[in-house]
Structure 1
């Protein structure tokens, strides 16, 4: 796995792939690689003009790329349902879903149109609902995969099931970590449930280590000079998007990947390096945590499956 790179993505011709947050960063890089190798890629984005610009950028390198830009706001369950209904009407079978989009903010607590804390709503509940609403289409594909994009921040987080929306004691970085713990626990619990139901769909996970995407500068943008300094110091420790995207590309496309596997960088602290299989935190891997999160997500979103 040490020498694996984007050129080794197997042919994707005939596959329909959905990438959330595909207008920039890891999502754009994932969508571009899949399209270059022949997949028909749905760029699921909140900002459609930004998605169209991303599609144009992909076409410059791959003029024959098969791309569709579709609006998806993961912070709105109404938008998630509308997106899923339109997509499955046009594409009854879906081969790959990459749950890549995420939000990381600093500052005061923010809520969504549904009344949920923004990190948890976008990073966990939106993807939970989307995956459930697309599951029948994924089941229709021969060997579909769902890739859950986690973060190193999940390893220091603990879920508080009495305060999933961080109403009692909000801290932005802690809320983000909890949301990524939720993402990881969701992916592992989905694997357990898919196996129990004998589904052919595979649930796998990946994280990019420390990668210089647009999320970090955006998180610090309202924190003035010191925020800019902190963002630049962080970026000095990171790897490029081209390297950071490899774990999720491997999870999405490599032959022989099994459900429940988790991929990330091989280097010290999983911050940078070649693609390697890595371990989730003990809390993320705990079936009791996964089961409680699944029940809570079903209740909060109104989407039940598996």
Structure 2
């Protein structure tokens, strides 16, 4: 497959990227900034966000701003969305990128397991709150590990089964793909031209394991990724492709190579569980109940 780096010009288009202070999010911002995009970097830590913004082309021209967002905190999600709805009359693309991997068991301030809250529920709420202002598409970030996921909607707090950090991660990434497909069905039913698409970065060298809470696991994860993984900018190309190319809704993009670990953006595979419409509808209902956010009138 031929390498793809031909990102179309993005001047005049506004992107909101969660978790944009490092890793794939930052690299996606840098690529989009180099093509003229206006960027809102949504970061939990403003100091780190501002340091990241200075690395993004267009920062000196005022095309890059940083706003605080903790997607694991639904109060923060609402505050962030409310502020953006006042500040901007339109958002072209929302990239739901922020995520955690390998975190020890914990519940957020909203009583939701950390992986599910960060990787799925916060982005579910953010998407629906911003949807009336989104003009083009929503990009959902999943993982090839979604294929290992088993979504137990009756035990999202892991009270009836042994907790496993990687099992919780895989479950949340399966939820992301189910959310993407159900969102597209609802957008189509509403007569909206907005698209819901997805991407995963394959094996990319990032610091996603930094929240493991275990110094040795974090060290192994960080350095191990750099031995066997693509640079983060290569993984970010899948996100950028999903965010900028003319692809249908419910398209899922990942690296083209063996096991989708390395390579250039291409159509990615989904597990049968990720195509289960009944589970997707139930997940949507559970997510509405947990977040207090519903699909808006469009």
Counterpart residue number, 1:188: 181
Q: After TM superposition, what 4+ stretches of structure 1 lie above 6 angstroms from structure 2?
A: none
CA contact (8 A) 2:67 2:80 kept: yes
The 2-side partners of 1:106 and 1:132 are apart by 26
Residue number among 78, 81, 93 corresponding to 2:78 in the alignment: 81
CA contact (8 A) 2:38 2:63 kept: yes
Q: Note the 1:173-252 alignment, pairs <5 A.
A: 173-216=166-209, 218-219=210-211, 222-224=214-216, 228-229=219-220, 231-252=222-243
The 1-side partners of 2:38 and 2:174 are apart by 30
**Equivalent pairs, count:** 295
Residue number among 121, 145, 154 corresponding to 1:153 in the alignment: 145
Structure 1 counterpart SS, 2:54: helix
Residue 119 of structure 1 deviates from its aligned partner by 0.6
Gaps of 5+ in 1: none
The 2-side partners of 1:186 and 1:172 are apart by 21
The 2-side partners of 1:156 and 1:284 are apart by 11
- TM-score, normalising length from structure 2? 0.94
Counterpart residue number, 2:158: 166
- Aligned CA-pair RMSD: 1.7
The 2-side partners of 1:207 and 1:184 are apart by 10
Q: Note the 1:51-90 alignment, pairs <5 A.
A: 51-59=49-57, 63-64=60-61, 66-90=63-87
1:34-74: per-residue Cα shift (whole Å, max 9, x none)?
12211110000000010000011224x86436011000011
Q: CA 1:62/1:50 → structure 2, altered by over 3 Å: closer, same or farther?
A: closer
Gaps of 5+ in 2: none
CA contact (8 A) 2:28 2:233 kept: no
The 1-side partners of 2:56 and 2:221 are apart by 31
The 1-side partners of 2:85 and 2:14 are apart by 11
1:214-237: per-residue Cα shift (whole Å, max 9, x none)?
113x1456243x663465334422
The 2-side partners of 1:177 and 1:130 are apart by 21
Structure 1 counterpart SS, 2:173: helix
The 1-side partners of 2:165 and 2:260 are apart by 23
Matching of residue 116 in structure 1 with residue 109 in structure 2: no
CA contact (8 A) 1:35 1:65 kept: no
